[in-house]
Structure formats: C-alpha cells, structure tokens
C-alpha cells in the first residue's frame, strides 16, 4: 500500500544514526588501517593476565546461558564496595543501562536535562523514547551544576544526566559539589550520575559509596570498559537503592549478559593489583600526551579520565582537520561534537608505541593543515 509504514510515527521521525563512528568504519571509508587506536577511550593496556587466563579456562562453558540474576557479580561488587547485592543492576555496558533508565522514566514529550555537548549516546536514547532534550552549556569546560539544576527546576524534569569525571572534556567536580547537587534536586527528578571514569579520578572527586544509598532518585553507573580493559566484553553496572534497582527487572534483557563477560568481570575485580598498575600507566600516558601537545603549541586540559582533551586554540573546522590528518597517518583520535567544545581534540591514553606514532605524526599534520 502506498504510504504504509511498519514503524511507529516516532521511529519514522528518527534518523538512522550511530552516535559514535568507530575506527573500523573509518578504515573502510578511507582504505587505511588504524595503527594507533587512541580515540575511543578503550584501554590499550588490556585486561589483567589473570582475566585472560579465566576467559580461556571458562571458554568451554560458552554453551551455557549466563545466570539471568547475575548473582555472583552483584555479590562480588557488593563485597568490593561495601554494599549488598540488592544495590546493583548488571547490564551490557553503561550504554545499555542509559537506555533502560530512559525507558523507565521518560514518555514522549517529557523533558530530559543534560549538558550541551555531553555524552551523545544518552541523547540517542532520549530521542529514541521520544523525550525532549533540554541542555545547558558547559562553563569553563566543566558541566555547569547550577545550570543543570536551574533547568531541572524550570522544566520540572523527571530525569537529569551528569558525568563525573566528564566525557568529552575530562574535567571533574569535587565530591561535596556532586553531593550538594544531588541533594538539591527535587525528589521527583532521577539523577543519572555517570561514573565511567571513577577509577582514574583524583582523590576527593568521587562521593563515598554510601553518599546516596538512601536516595531513590540517584542511580550511579560504572563500567569494566575503561580502567579494567574490558570494553569488548560490555559489562556495566548501576548502583542505587534496592527499590530503584529492582525496577530494572521489569524491562531488562535477563539473558543479555554473556557468560564469559561475567567471568571476565569477576576475575578483573579480584585483581586489584593489576588495576593499580594500569591506573599508573594511564596517568603516565596522560602526562606524555600533554607533553606532546605542548611541544606542538597546543594546550592540554587537566584530565581525570583515561584521555586528554587538547585545546587547538582555534575552532571545530581546524580540530576536524587535525583529526582527519592524523588518521591519514593511521592515528585514530576523536573530538567533541558541539561548539565551543569542538575546538578540542581528544586523545585516549595509549601504550608507548601508540604515543610514539602520535608524536611523530602530529607535527606533520599541524604543518599540513596550517
């Protein structure tokens, strides 16, 4: 029939898009291999050898479904953080959790508050469920807590997103400021506090694990994708009150977690010595990226994450030329997508060989782009 569509009006209005273009797609488009993969905030240092050994040993159990209650990982996280299993929801990375949260809270037309230029996958989910994004600008390259709070109050928004430390700028707030922000929100507003980079954050920036334990309107999201080196395994978790966490059982994919991913996360959690080693390597890599940037007349911003945002001193067109130019040398990096943040390029912490390639290519690219 002419004009017939199998999809909902909302789905028909949405663009077919991927929030992040992966290096594989860039390789296909440019016909050029990535030699230094330092753009996706993965950990090129990889997971612990003990984790790889566990994956190898447990691979023969791949024929089994994972425990749909994720009991072992919830219990292990509870023991590690001083909570109980009932405080955790497990999911296929923070990205999946964000979609579930939006689905739980937002109906078409409802306002959702976030920062202009903040994590685009969250925006992707809001659009997918018909929410109305309300944004506030960054202030001095940090998410503006007062601006977010004002927007929540003005719009009577049921959902607000805040990342601490922040992606894409690497900036952060101190723990008291985050706690004050959360406690200033209306009880009817759910706060997503995205703590994907909590392991690399400086002391005093992450609120105590018990700070929100009696607040049903706060859900903290964390991941094994960054410092633990398991981005490809897709293991994320949310921390909240038992009542808030139990709501996920109404809509989550109960058999979504791969068995080997769960085993890898359990092994990673046990090997805190390796985690400490990687955190130190990330800190060293941040310092080297900053030194490379300064040597080329660019300005690295302070970072609490596993990447460094580097101010190019010009605009998004210039920053894009640098990103594309580096890819011509096989060095994959990214940049923020919204002005004025897009004056920056964003470089993930990498192993020395990757940063050697960056150091060699960057002056050539800057000379070429003028």
* Residue 331: predicted pLDDT: 98
* Residue 18: predicted pLDDT: 82
Longest Cα separation, the chain: 63
Same domain, 113 and 183: yes
Task: Give the pLDDT confidence of 97-106 residue by residue, as tens digits.
Answer: 999 999 999 9
Whole-angstrom Cα distance, residue 138 to residue 208?
Answer: 25
Same domain, 257 and 141: yes
**Cα 350-260-224 angle, rounded to 5 deg:** 40
Looking at the domain assignment, is residue 9 inside a domain?
A: no
Q: Stretch 291-318: mean pLDDT, rounded?
A: 98
Same domain, 131 and 241: yes
140: left (phi over 0), alpha (psi -120 to 50) or beta: left
* Residue 4: predicted pLDDT: 64
Q: What is the pTM of this model?
A: 0.96
Q: Is the pLDDT of residue 360 over 90?
A: yes
Looking at the domain assignment, is residue 356 inside a domain?
A: yes
Same domain, 260 and 347: no
Looking at the domain assignment, is residue 305 inside a domain?
A: yes
Order of strands, sheet of 299-300, starting from the edge strand that comes earlier in the sequence:
299-300, 307-311, 344-348
Same domain, 239 and 295: no
Domain that holds residue 186: 49-270
Task: Give the pLDDT confidence of 56-102 residue by residue, as tens digits.
Answer: 999 999 999 999 999 999 999 999 999 999 999 999 999 999 999 99
Give yes or no for a contact between 38 and 355, defined as CB atoms under 8 angstroms apart.
Answer: yes
Give yes or no for a contact between 216 and 243, defined as CB atoms under 8 angstroms apart.
Answer: yes
Considering Cα of 76, then 82, then 88, then 94, what sign does the dihedral take?
negative
Same domain, 278 and 255: no
370 burial class (0-12, 13-18, 19+ CB within 10 angstroms)? exposed
Other CB atoms within 10 Å distance of the CB of residue 143: 25
Same domain, 247 and 278: no
- Give the N- to C-terminal CA distance of the chain in Å, as an integer: 55
* Residue 1: predicted pLDDT: 44
Looking at the domain assignment, is residue 12 inside a domain?
A: no
31 burial class (0-12, 13-18, 19+ CB within 10 angstroms)? exposed
Same domain, 190 and 305: no
Q: What are phi and psi of 190, to 5 degrees?
A: -90, 125
Residue entry with tokens 């739980």:
104
Residues paired with residue 111 on neighbouring β-strands, in sequence order: 132
CATH number at residue 281: 3.90.1150.10
Q: At which of 244, 270, 296 does a domain end?
A: 270
Binned at pLDDT 50, 70 and 90, residue 8 comes out as: very high
Q: At which of 245, 270, 295 does a domain end?
A: 270
Binned at pLDDT 50, 70 and 90, residue 20 comes out as: confident
Q: At which of 240, 270, 300 does a domain end?
A: 270
- How many domains, in total, are found in the chain? 2
Q: Stretch 2-31: mean pLDDT, rounded?
A: 86
* Residue scoring higher pLDDT (17 or 297): 297
């Amino acid at each position: 029939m002419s004009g017939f569509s199998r999809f909902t009006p909302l789905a028909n209005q949405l663009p077919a898009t991927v929030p992040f273009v992966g290096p594989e797609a860039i390789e296909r488009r440019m016909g050029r291999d990535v030699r230094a993969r330092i753009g996706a905030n993965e950990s090129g240092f990889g997971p612990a050898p003990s984790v790889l050994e566990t994956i190898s040993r447990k691979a023969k159990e791949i024929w089994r479904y994972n425990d749909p209650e994720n009991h072992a990982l919830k219990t292990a996280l509870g023991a590690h953080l001083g909570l109980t299993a009932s405080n955790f929801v497990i999911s296929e990375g923070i990205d999946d959790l964000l979609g579930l949260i939006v689905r739980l809270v937002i109906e078409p037309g409802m306002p959702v508050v976030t920062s202009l230029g903040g994590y685009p996958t969250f925006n992707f989910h809001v659009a997918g469920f018909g929410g109305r994004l309300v944004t506030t600008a960054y202030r001095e390259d940090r998410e503006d807590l007062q601006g977010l709070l004002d927007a929540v109050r003005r719009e009577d928004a049921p959902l607000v997103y805040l990342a601490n430390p922040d992606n894409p700028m690497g900036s952060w707030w101190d723990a008291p400021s985050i706690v004050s922000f959360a406690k200033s929100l209306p009880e009817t507003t759910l706060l997503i506090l995205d703590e994907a980079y909590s392991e690399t954050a400086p002391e005093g920036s992450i609120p105590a694990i018990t700070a929100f334990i009696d607040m049903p309107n706060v859900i903290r999201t964390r991941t094994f994708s960054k410092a633990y080196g398991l981005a490809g395994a897709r293991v994320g978790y949310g921390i909240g009150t038992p009542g808030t966490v139990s709501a996920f059982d109404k809509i989550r994919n109960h058999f979504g977690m791969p068995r080997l991913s769960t085993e890898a996360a359990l092994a990673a959690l046990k090997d805190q010595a390796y985690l400490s080693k990687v955190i130190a390597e990330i800190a060293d890599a941040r310092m080297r990226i900053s030194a490379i940037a300064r040597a080329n007349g660019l300005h690295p911003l302070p970072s609490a994450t596993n990447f460094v945002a580097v101010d190019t001193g010009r605009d998004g067109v210039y920053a894009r030329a640098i990103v594309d130019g580096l890819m011509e040398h096989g060095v994959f990096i990214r940049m923020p997508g919204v002005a004025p943040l897009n004056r920056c390029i964003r470089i993930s912490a990498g192993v020395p060989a990757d940063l050697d390639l960056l150091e060699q290519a960057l002056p050539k690219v800057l000379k070429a782009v003028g």
